[in-house]
Structure 1
Amino acid sequence: MDTATHITMGIALGGLATLDPVVQQDSAVFQPLMIGTLLGSNAPDFDTILKFRNNALYIRNHRGITHSIPAVMAWGTAISAAIHTFVPQTPFWHLFFWTLLAVIFHVFVDIFNAYGTQAARPFNQNWIALGWINTFDPYIFALHIVGIIAWLFFNADPGFTFLILYFVLFLYYVKRYFDKQDIIKKIHQQQEDVQRIVTSPTIKHNTWKIAITANDHFYVARSENGEIRIVDTFKRKELPDHPAMKKALQDRNVKAFISFSPVYRWEIEKLDRYTEVRFIDLRYRSKGHYPFVAVVKLDYDYNIKTSYTGWIYSEEKLQKKLHPAPN
């Protein structure tokens, strides 16, 4: 989920913590627990700082090891220990429970969007991306805001308010699951040779982006109000035994792209001064453009001159990334 939603979830879990008998007996315990749920609800995304290093490092690691099983335990322990150091009168195990729950909840909700996480590490390195919920879901965010307002301004009981809220959210997630299953069923009815379907829900509730892998083609589709429409078709081709491709596959940006993207196509273009190898993720089509790419430029001898991976929405900006201005 996005940062704003994770913050509201941290507040909501702090509200749920008021159901804890220890909090009910001693209101002074509430504040450290709220700090714990807020920090725990956002801690796994501290790896965003990797973006300041380079995109390849960010793409390979964001929602990776920081969302793994050992990291979840480490976040919960470290945050609880830090808070307990400054507020030693707080019952540690209650603080740890609510903080750890917030970290777990963060990782759990992240698996439902198209980006996903490596939540099963170290047992499984695969990305878990269920594709039911958009990274920012206005219904989920709005429901949390309503609950927070009811608590802060209308004196609603926070424990029961957010207990009801999460029951409603559970039903919402079940609905979104069946929405996706309906899309998958319709695609299989239209296409007989489907191997894989990757769904990306959008901010519009009834609009979904879809990438379909078939035997011989990739299909990019949209689902709007239950109607499936193919918007692009690409012939599926194996990676060629070409020196430019072999060299490109050794590039760190390309490695990061391939480790993350489950469905992509490739292009090799020989130009006057260089050869360009481009990898294009088919999940994120926007206004006829595919913004998530990895591009490598090689000289006549197939030495890598420059490369880039990330989200780019115009060819002009991509070329600037590949040819940064001199210092």
Structure 2
Amino acid sequence: MDTGTHVVMGFALGGLAMVDPVVASDPVMQKTVLIATIIGSQAPDFDTVLKLRNNAVYLRNHRGITHSIPAVLLWPLLITATLALFVPGIAWATVLLWSFIAVFLHVFVDIFNAYGTQALRPFSKRWVALGVINTFDPYIFFTHLGALMMWLLGSPPVATFFGLYGILILYYIWRFYEKNKVIQHAKRLHPTATHIFVSPSMRWYQWHLVIRTKETLYVAESTHNEINYFEQYPFEPIPDMPIMNAARKDDNLHAFLSFSPTYRWEVEKNDDYTEVRFIDLRYRSKGHYPFVAIVQLNEQLQIISSYTGWVYNENTLRKKLNVLTEN
């Protein structure tokens, strides 16, 4: 989920913690646990600092080890130990419990996005992405905001937030039902499909679709149970040829391929270099595919520049590649 949603979820858990007698009976513990749940709801995303290095490192590691099973256990220990330094005499077991709930819930809800997490590490590096909730879901965010406003106005926190999460559980079940309807519809139209990639949007009845058969990739959108087709491309596995093998040694392209499950590729020969481009088909926006990986190689198949990330303008992409070449 996005940062804002994780923040309001942290506040909500702080209110829900009032169900714990140790918290409810002590104003100091109420404040301490609230701080713990807010920090815990953000902690797994501290790996965002990896963007300061480069996009390749960020893509390979964001929602990776920081969202793993060991991290879910380690973050609460770090949060509790830090708070114990500033608030002596706290009931550390209680703080540990609620910070664990906050961290666990952060990782758990991220699984429902199309981006997903490597939540099963170290047992598996597979990305777990259920693709039923958009990274920013207005309904989840504003229902949390509404519940927090009710709390501020005097509504009992335990009843308020239990009610909130009861409603959200039903909402998640409904989203699974809607996604399954889209998949079944696509299967009826393409009975030979080998893969159907479905990504949610911010609109309830709109889903991004990539349908793959043995020969073709269809880029489409499902809106109110109607599938609209935008483009189609031949499905071509990555070929075993010198230029492609050289490009795949690049860190940016390697990061892209580890993250993207469905894409198309193209090779363009220019006067001074050859450009290999991979395009993720899941994120079509206004006729443009913003998530790409580019590798430029010279005649000796040496990499002269590369980039991966989100670019919504071709001129911006060219500027980024030029800066990399100059450096």
SS where residue 124 of structure 2 aligns? coil
- In the other structure, the counterpart of 1:217 is 216
- In the other structure, the counterpart of 2:78 is 78
Q: Is residue 56 from structure 1 mapped to residue 59 from structure 2 by the alignment?
A: no
- One-letter amino acid matched to 2:57: L
- In the other structure, the counterpart of 2:302 is 303
CA distance in 2 between counterparts of 1:61 and 1:143 reads: 31
- In the other structure, the counterpart of 1:257 is 256
Deviation at 1:251, TM superposition (A): 0.3
- Superposed, which structure 2 residues align to 1:192-203 within 5 Å? 192-203=191-202
Deviation at 1:241, TM superposition (A): 2.3
- In the other structure, the counterpart of 2:285 is 286
Output one character per residue of 1:171-228: Cα deviation in whole Å (capped at 9) or x when no partner.
Answer: 0000000000000010000001111122111111111111222111111110111111
CA distance in 2 between counterparts of 1:55 and 1:238 reads: 25
| Percent of aligned positions that are identical | 52
CA distance in 2 between counterparts of 1:197 and 1:91 reads: 49
Which stretch shifts more, 142-151 or 216-225? Answer: 216-225
- One-letter amino acid matched to 1:187: A
Report the number of matched residues.
326
Output one character per residue of 1:232-287: Cα deviation in whole Å (capped at 9) or x when no partner.
Answer: 11101121222110100000000000000011111111111110001111110011
- In the other structure, the counterpart of 1:44 is 44
- In the other structure, the counterpart of 2:159 is 160
CA distance in 2 between counterparts of 1:35 and 1:27 reads: 13
4+ residue segments displaced more than 4 Å: none
Output one character per residue of 1:98-120: Cα deviation in whole Å (capped at 9) or x when no partner.
Answer: 00000000000001011110011
- In the other structure, the counterpart of 1:5 is 5
CA distance in 2 between counterparts of 1:292 and 1:237 reads: 19
SS where residue 208 of structure 1 aligns? strand
CA distance in 2 between counterparts of 1:305 and 1:254 reads: 13
CA distance in 1 between counterparts of 2:177 and 2:106 reads: 23
CA distance in 2 between counterparts of 1:90 and 1:216 reads: 63
Q: RMSD of the TM alignment (CA)?
A: 1.0
Segments of 5+ residues of structure 2 without an aligned counterpart are none
Output one character per residue of 1:41-73: Cα deviation in whole Å (capped at 9) or x when no partner.
Answer: 000000000001100000000001100000111
SS where residue 230 of structure 2 aligns? strand
CA distance in 2 between counterparts of 1:33 and 1:240 reads: 54
- Superposed, which structure 2 residues align to 1:1-327 within 5 Å? 1-152=1-152, 154-324=153-323
Deviation at 1:23, TM superposition (A): 1.4
CA distance in 2 between counterparts of 1:199 and 1:288 reads: 18
CA distance in 1 between counterparts of 2:67 and 2:49 reads: 15
SS where residue 323 of structure 1 aligns? helix
Deviation at 1:88, TM superposition (A): 2.3
CA distance in 1 between counterparts of 2:5 and 2:24 reads: 27
Which stretch shifts more, 270-279 or 8-17? Answer: 270-279
CA distance in 2 between counterparts of 1:282 and 1:291 reads: 9
CA distance in 2 between counterparts of 1:155 and 1:73 reads: 34
CA distance in 2 between counterparts of 1:125 and 1:320 reads: 34
CA distance in 2 between counterparts of 1:85 and 1:268 reads: 57
SS where residue 268 of structure 1 aligns? strand
Segments of 5+ residues of structure 1 without an aligned counterpart are none
CA distance in 2 between counterparts of 1:268 and 1:95 reads: 55
Deviation at 1:131, TM superposition (A): 0.6
CA distance in 2 between counterparts of 1:86 and 1:214 reads: 59
CA distance in 2 between counterparts of 1:65 and 1:213 reads: 31
- One-letter amino acid matched to 1:42: Q
CA distance in 2 between counterparts of 1:296 and 1:25 reads: 60
Output one character per residue of 1:267-314: Cα deviation in whole Å (capped at 9) or x when no partner.
Answer: 111111110001111110011111100000011111110000000011
